[in-house]
Chains A and B, each alone.
Chain A
Amino acid sequence: MAAADIFSALAGNLMLASQDSAPIPIAETAAGMGWAGWILWLPAISTVMCGLCAAMRVKTKLPAWITVGLLGTSFLMTLALWLRYDQPVVIHLLDWFVLGGDGWAFIANFSLYVDSLTLLWMLFVTGLGTLIALYASEYMEADVRGGYARFFAGISVFLFAMTALVMADNLLMLYLGWEGVGFASYWLIGYYYRKPSAVAAAKKAFIVNRIGDLGLALAVFLIWHNFGTVEYRALFEALQSGSYNTEAGGWSIKAIPYLLMLAAFGKSAQIPLYVWLPDAMEGPTPVSALIHAATMVTAGVFLVARMYPVFLLEPASLTVVAWIGGLTALLAATIAMAQHDIKRIFAYSTISQLGYMFMGIGLFTTAGAAYHVFTHAFFKAVLFLTAGVVMHGFAGQVDLRKVSGLRHLPGFRITSFTMLYACACLAGVPLITNGFWSKDAIMAQAFISTGPGFRALGVIAIITAFLTAYYAFRVWFRVCAGPVHFEPGEEQHDDHHAAEHGEFRPHAPRLVVNFVLIVITIGAVGSIFLKGWAGERIEDSTAAYHTPHALGVGFWGDPHVWMPWVASAVGLLGIVVAGYFHLVNRKAADGLKNAMLANPATRWLPTAMENKWYVDELYHLMFRGPLWLGGHILNLFDRYIIDMAIVDGVARIPRLLGRGFQPLSNGILQSYAVSMAGGVALLAILVFLMPQLVDWLSHWMGGAG
């Protein structure tokens, strides 16, 4: 396609976007729905109660049961809210910021904006939150005498913040939740605070996220500047009626989607801000499953979906979203292929799948993207939870070369098969997996929507799908299939299954963990049938883009017809390749790698993939070095110029002043009385007997007087 064609297609796209977008559904104010506030408050109560448990040094599993109970209730209430849902509503809980006057008002209340997008997210956030908290009750039991309550307080804080983020009816409350989930993530990544790598990872996650948060803050400022509101309803109404001034805004309106994008890419780990997520795996595995796979990292996707009408003001921004998503998907998949740490593989896979979601949004199929968020939440949670079982069972072992044949080990059968199904979902095994259906929706759209290079994106997506199938089954064939063989890790968090007598016994999961694995897997199976449902949820909300199919003529006929075949083929091919290298002939994989390393022409490829394309090192060079230098220069400036010359100098003035008045407060009654009378007299004389001075003073004082 020639460049001119691309641009004309884009122009057509722009016109379509502005003409055919269907009315944005406007929410109504709901009365008598205050009970829904408890969805938000229950996790907060749970935090406080876990905090109290920590303060009272409770040495039982009480914090876990509190958390599971309250989060479970929160989930049930979400379910009830969903069952009663018939139209978008705003539920007012309490006043927070109400400032204003004639012509302007800054209102940001604790209110819930409930539409089907909110409900879709809330259902899996609270549902998976409850289940993973249940899983953690057993997984973390070695810490019952340590940080158990601290852990569950962190989980509850996260759920509270995430609920605030998703259910907020204004951008300020969303920002509160946004920062809150970042804080909870920091808290939980650094849970093992005695481990330097965990502390470093927590810091890295927080700092990288701050860059994105800056984008969100600026976007909120600009939205307030241009639309005079931070409330969704008023914002959507303004967008709907066009009662804002596009010319007056100019760049400041066009900048909003890009700033929001920066925030989304930070939270959802996309290029260039993805580097924190793999390191975040230093946190306990339930945290990785809940926060860094299933829920928090989809907040970026949620933000873009929620603000979709704003993105449609500048459709070129959606193209950027699509491309960043596609490239991230490919990059992360290539890195995942060459890692040995199971959790890191899954982390890169999360980044890659998030890339698919952003690609879907950018390709105008919010419904597909949201459905992928939904299915991914289930299978990725299972993947992480099974990885956690492996870690837990083999004393912290996460290297896929050192554990093999898990499915033949007693007690690990359920783990193996749930992991198999989740890997199949990730790989997109046709028909029986939810990942197949959701990925298909996005990939087919690449050949339907018209935009700059969307076809190329589609090809990238297909290649990535192949790589995904390969690395997913690489893990499963290595860890679960093959001959039984294992080496324990170095972690000895519990005495009775440590290698005391030279013999190591794997620590098989018990009832609760298996129960959670099965329930989430059943959820994953169930979500196969929810494609239409998830689509309807989106069509009904502000994230809907109602004319995707009219955007372009299908490429090679109807992509929805041929894409399933292509996707199935590449998925199965990936599995077959993985099966050959990692099950049938494990030596072949190493042989291939060695052959590539031996050949100078191809040596770079495996090395670069294993070293994550040197992105961390690049960032280190680009940002940390100059910042370090700048920091030191500023430090010297601060120490010698600011501190010594200015601060100490200025600080001396009040102290000297104080010394001067010190003799007056000598504790003697008479002197106090004289001072007071003198003060009164002085002021009275000043005010009444010195008119010139008074005039001069009142002139200088300003004010209306």
Chain B
Amino acid sequence: MVDKLWFLIPEMWLFVGVVVISVMGLCKARGLRNAVPLVVIGFLAVAFIITPLLYTDDRLAKVADGLLIPMLGRYVKMVVCAVGIVLTMLSIGLIDRPLEQAVASGRARFDPIRVSRGEYFVFFLLSLIGVMLVCNANDLIWLFLALELTSLPTYVMVAISRPSRKAQEAAVKYFFLGAMSASIFLYGLALLYGSTGTIVLTEMRDAFAEQAATGGLNRLALVGMVLALLGVSYKIVAVPMHFYAADVYEGAASAVTAFLAFVPKTAGMLAIILLLMTVGWSGHLGPGVEGLPQPILITLWMMAVLTMTLGNVGAMLQRSAKRLLAYSSIAHSGYMLIGVIAGPTLGINAVLLYLLAYGVMNTAAFAVLGALERKGEEIESLDDLAGLRHRHPALAIVMAITALSLVGFPPLLGFLGKLYLFMAGVEAGHVALVVIALINSAISAWYYLLLLGLPMLAMPTPTSETIVSRPVIWPRVAALATAIGVVGLPLVAGRLLSASEAVIQTDEVSPMVDQFDVSMADQPTEDQRAP
């Protein structure tokens, strides 16, 4: 038990942060209240630094049997902390703005009942803790609770992010539909328990292996797994659970939208990977058959194709930048499912890399939107971006780079991510799926190039002339930092890949090199080519 707790030190540390800022947010001194986000950044930075120190070989050896993917935590926690820091910057100056202005100008007195900045960041951190806990899940209950810990705070964050009715409406929709998806997920888990008699993931894996050895997986288990996958597809905004995305993303403030598109999606993806690890990609249908069990494969395959297609097609019809990015978020989940289908190690590594890539690109796009406003209201329409270059050249360039990266333009981060995802898909033999994804990538250029062309090429319109940047500098810092990430992270691609590769190194699955080996076997080697 103590050994398991060892890996929860980052979460516990962040929980200390939760306690500290919940008090700080209520302080009468304005300086202390304003310092809340900086304290959050500090706690996240420390968690980022201590995480790699905790994952030592001897510690891992003690818990190796208890966790499906022992090393998952190190990569995911570091990514979550790093992106979390940028997301925090984006949220600075967002909450309580009218109230704080009134207090600063003396028009109102400070009233701890009416402030919610502290709460916002408390929920922010709690949600991040949720994602981190997902990595450590070793049974179904833990998995479910961690997922809900990720999601529940986000409902509140959506509601309090903007003083507008739209945000409230979005929060209500988000909450009810979230509850429905959670029930479907839970139903699936119940069936899984029913078929295996255990909730511990490693024991489930052994039970499935036993079932597979004696004539294929239990029908109940398959139904449970499919329902669980469909339920969790809410978190990753995949078809058929994607309907809420556009409305909720539009209703929430840009900072929260960026959060929604990264944090719950990461948690959901990790949950899917953990659940599928119990079944395995090494064929439980019978001897000699590789890959996921057929019903699960078909479910994921359909989900992937529908998700990316609906996401891209939907995005083409939007005139609101936030709705556009919401549909783009759906499409990117579809791409990630390719990696999930392809399986370890190439596919899972690609997904983990893509989670980081998408997190950075997506945050960059929302950071630009979040850094701009008109009369204290965030901009939403694409037309507001027209001619941005003339007034805010740096933000326009960030938007342009981000758009190119989202299309998958080499050598940017998005290209790298897609390259590894599609490569994994082809290696696993899902050529049709990759072809569909490539067609979708081409379609996506249609609307991403709007994000490039409007700020850089179009002339400013009378409405877009009235756009100003938010008074605080932090959203712009976040935009710049993420843009540097989009351009710079591919330069350290080697380091990133080895970091995500180190995650999956279990006995059952072959390391990356062997995957290449299979493909190389068909081709003549250097010697054979000689006459």
Contacts and interface: CB of A to CB of B under 8 A. Distances in A.
Interface of A: 55, 94-98, 100-104, 109-110, 228, 245, 247-248, 651, 654-655, 657-659, 661-662, 664-665, 667, 669, 672-673, 675-680, 682-684, 686-688, 694, 697-698, 700-705
B280 to A, nearest CB: 13
Contacts of B266: none
A662 B531 contact: no
Contacts of A654: 312-313, 316, 443, 446
A662 B516 contact: no
Contact of A102 (B173, B243, B247, B517): B517
B516 A100 contact: yes
Given A659-B317, A686-B302, 18 more contacts: A95-B495, A96-B491, A103-B517, A247-B530, A248-B526, A665-B314, A669-B177, A679-B240, A680-B231, A683-B240, A683-B299, A687-B226, A687-B299, A702-B429, A703-B428, A703-B429, A703-B432, A704-B291
B311 to A, nearest CB: 11
B92 interface: no
Given A96-B493, A98-B494, A675-B240, A669 B176 contact: yes
B193 to A, nearest CB: 19
A228 B526 CA distance: 9
A248 B240 contact: no
Contacts of B429: 702-704
Interface in B431-470: 431-433, 443, 446
B227 interface: yes
B341 interface: yes
Contacts of B497: 98
B226 A95 contact: no
A101 B243 contact: no
21 contacts: A96-B493, A101-B517, A104-B520, A110-B491, A247-B530, A651-B446, A658-B313, A669-B173, A672-B177, A673-B177, A676-B240, A680-B184, A680-B240, A683-B302, A698-B297, A701-B297, A701-B430, A702-B432, A703-B297, A703-B341, A705-B289
A168 to B, nearest CB: 15
Interface residues of B, number: 69
B105 interface: no
A684 B230 contact: yes
Nearest to B230: A680
A676 B298 contact: no
B243 A664 contact: yes
Name B's interface SS. Answer: helix
Nearest to A694: B298
Interface of B: 172-173, 176-177, 180-181, 184, 222-223, 226-227, 230-231, 234, 239-241, 243-244, 246-247, 289-292, 294-295, 297-299, 301-303, 309-310, 312-314, 316-317, 341, 393-394, 428-433, 443, 446, 491-495, 497, 512-517, 520, 525-526, 529-531
Contacts of A103: 517, 520, 525-526
Given A651-B446, A679-B240, A705 B290 contact: yes
B495 A676 contact: no
A95 B314 contact: no
B513 A687 contact: no
A106 to B, nearest CB: 11
A103 B523 CA distance: 11
A651 to B, nearest CB: 7
Contacts of A686: 298, 302
Nearest to B429: A703
A687 B298 CA distance: 7
A675 B243 contact: yes
A567 to B, nearest CB: 50
B339 to A, nearest CB: 13
B310 A661 contact: yes
A667 B394 CA distance: 35
Contact of A101 (B227, B246, B316, B513): B513
Contact of B433 (A657, A688, A703): A703
Given A664-B243, A672-B177, A703-B341, A101 B520 contact: yes
Given A676-B241, A688-B223, A661 B298 contact: no
Contacts of A651: 446
Nearest to B490: A96
A673 B492 CA distance: 43
Contacts of A688: 222-223, 226, 295
A661 B531 CA distance: 59
B251 to A, nearest CB: 10
B327 to A, nearest CB: 9
B313 A661 contact: yes
Nearest to A109: B494
A680 B431 CA distance: 26
A520 B431 CA distance: 62
B313 A701 contact: no
A655 B517 contact: no
Contact of A96 (B177, B181, B494): B494
A697 B305 CA distance: 13
A688 B316 CA distance: 34
Contacts of B240: 675-676, 678-680, 682-683
Contact of A669 (B172, B289, B297, B303): B172
B235 to A, nearest CB: 13
Nearest to A664: B243
Contacts of B513: 100-102
